[in-house]
Amino acid sequence: MSNNNRPTLEEVVALCKRRGFVFPTSEIYGGLTSSYDYGPLGSELLRNIKDLWWKEFINLRPDMVGLDSQIMLNPETWVASGHVGSFSDPMVVDVKTNKRYRADHVIEGWMEGKEEFKDFVVEDLSTQEMGQFIKEHKILSPEGHEFSEPKEFNLLFETSIGAVTGEKSKVYLRGETAQGIFTNFKQVLNSSRVQLPFGIGQLGKSFRNEVTTGQFVFRTLEFEQGEIEYFFDPEKTDWKELFEEWQRKMMDFVINTLGVSGENLRWRQHTDKERSFYSKETYDIDYHFPFGWKELWGLAYRTDYDLTQQMKHSGESLEYTDPHTQKRMIPHVIEPAVGIGRLFLMTLVDAYWKDEENNRIVLKLHPRVAPYKAAVFPLLKNKPELVGKAKDIFNDLSRKYPVIWDERGNIGKRYLYQDEIGTPVCITVDFESLEDESVTIRNRDTTKQERIKITQLEEYLANMLD
């Protein structure tokens, strides 16, 4: 898709609402900041992305196992990981309205379109330097007021459990899924047949008290992560080679599994100042979203920091014993961590096609990720013989693939609807079908139609998905 044909965020949001991909959370009460629900189509697309992630990174690999840990962990976990002490963003407050803003996002917004700041990395500034920058350039809030000095604001959500009282009842909603992997490291070692190098992956909800709004599902308070901790012995495995191998796997997933075009993707290395102190190397895959190049998927070499921290705080050994040499060591990790909502938004933005020639909007989703693989229609809904035959086809196909039934409106309207929700093919049962056991199959992208035998439909869809 060429850049000038790319959708705006507003167009994507409108399509998501119109067709049932994403709705604002609690809309009947006026919504809830940075929170969205996935509708009938969005939940299918989201599930496809998660299933593909799980299949590619866990099921298809002998060196990976899965995990599903809790959202609320023993709070000491977050003290050990450093989240309680320093999982924070620099915030400034509009002195008149008391609204909070992320200082780095305020500066980034101000620099947008200014050629002289093209290569400026805001993350390189300390909190204090961000304050100076805002003052020096007289940057004002969206309401036109001055900002306060920036202060660090912790992103962890706190809640309390009923079974205990006082300070001990305080727990956090996890800020990342990763720590559940580290705290289960010993159990996985003891219960499965894994040997270094190996990885543990998990999909699940994380929570962050974000204050920047207006980026749709890109940045939300509650979001799903797909995280992998890949453990290895740095004396036996060259971390640089492993890192590059993960870079290839991540990019391959985005381009070849999700079907996203490469032109809007890039690798960005974190600068020394920006990188977390425990990380030896961090790269992000950035995607060119309608609001600019933004982080999609991070890859970090976290050394043995997390296991060491959890070991110190729990007093439990999280060492690995080499089965051949009996050497004991703390494994190092490389961590690919992605937000499923960001994969979702990228997939939609990339697939959004304004087909001006045919005056339609098409979601050119790869059939693998499309919510429905085919739509089945009777040509006319008031002809029982057509409806009956089409229902038989629907029932047969839906046992194998998600397919959608539609008998509303005329055939042209049905096609337009299916194009907008990304259904790769439409299958129509007409009067000829009653005679020759064939149907019309219409391709979403080319709009071309062909006749095929009903008995060949399953094979047709299987080839399309391959």
Binding site for ligand GAP (CB under 6 A): 176, 178, 208, 210, 219-220, 223, 225, 227, 295-298, 335, 337-339, 341-342
Q: Are 269 and 283 in contact (CB under 8 A)?
A: yes
**Token pair 């740095």 in the structure block, residue:** 234
Sequence-ordered alpha helix ranges (H) in 352-455: 384-398, 411-421, 431-436
Cβ at position 335, least distance to ligand GAP in Å: 6
In the complex, the smallest distance separating the C-beta of residue 451 from ligand GAP, rounded to whole angstroms, is 45
Nearer to ligand GAP, 127 or 398 (CB): 127
Counting beta carbons within 10 angstroms of the beta carbon of residue 51, is it exposed (0 to 12), middle (13 to 18) or buried (19 or more)? middle
Residue nearest to ligand GAP (CB): 339
Cα–Cα distance for residue pair 314/171, rounded to 1 Å: 17
For ligand GAP, which is the closer residue by CB, 93 or 338? 338
Give least dist CB 372 to ligand GAP, A.
26
Helices of type H across 20-73: 40-54
**Closest distance between ligand GAP and the C-beta of residue 295, in Å?**
5
CB of 209 to ligand GAP, least distance (A): 9
Nearest to ligand GAP of 94, 227 (CB atom): 227
Sequential DSSP letters for 200-266: EEEEEEEE-------SGGGS-SEEEEEEEEEEE-TTTS-HHHHHHHHHHHHHHIIIIIS---GGGEE
Q: For 63, how many CA atoms within 13 A lie in the half-sphere containing its CB?
A: 10
Element (H, E) at 453: strand 449-453
Q: Which residues of 142-177 are buried (b: 16+ CB within 10 A; e: fewer)?
A: eeeeebbebeebbbbbeeeeeeeeeeeeebbbbbbb
DSSP conformation class of 125: S
Angle at alpha carbon of residue 322, lines to 321 and 326, rounded to 5°: 75
Pick 143 or 272: Cβ nearer ligand GAP: 272
Q: Which helix (H) or strand (E) holds 405?
A: strand 403-405
CB of 74 to ligand GAP, least distance (A): 18
Neighbouring CB atoms inside 10 A of 329's CB total 16
| Comparison of 91 and 390: residue with beta carbon closer to ligand GAP | 91
**Beta-bridge mates of residue 177:** none
Beta-carbon contacts of 28 under 8 Å, excluding residues fewer than 6 positions away, are none
CB of 284 or CB of 420, closer to ligand GAP = 284
Q: Of the two residues 288 and 414, which places its CB atom closer to ligand GAP in the complex?
A: 288
Kindly state the smallest distance separating residue 242's Cβ from ligand GAP, in Å: 17
The CB-of-9 to ligand GAP minimum distance in angstroms stands at: 15
Nearer to ligand GAP, 297 or 372 (CB): 297
Tell me the residue length of the chain. 466
Shortest separation between residue 463's beta carbon and ligand GAP, angstroms: 33
CB closer to ligand GAP out of 104 and 419: 104
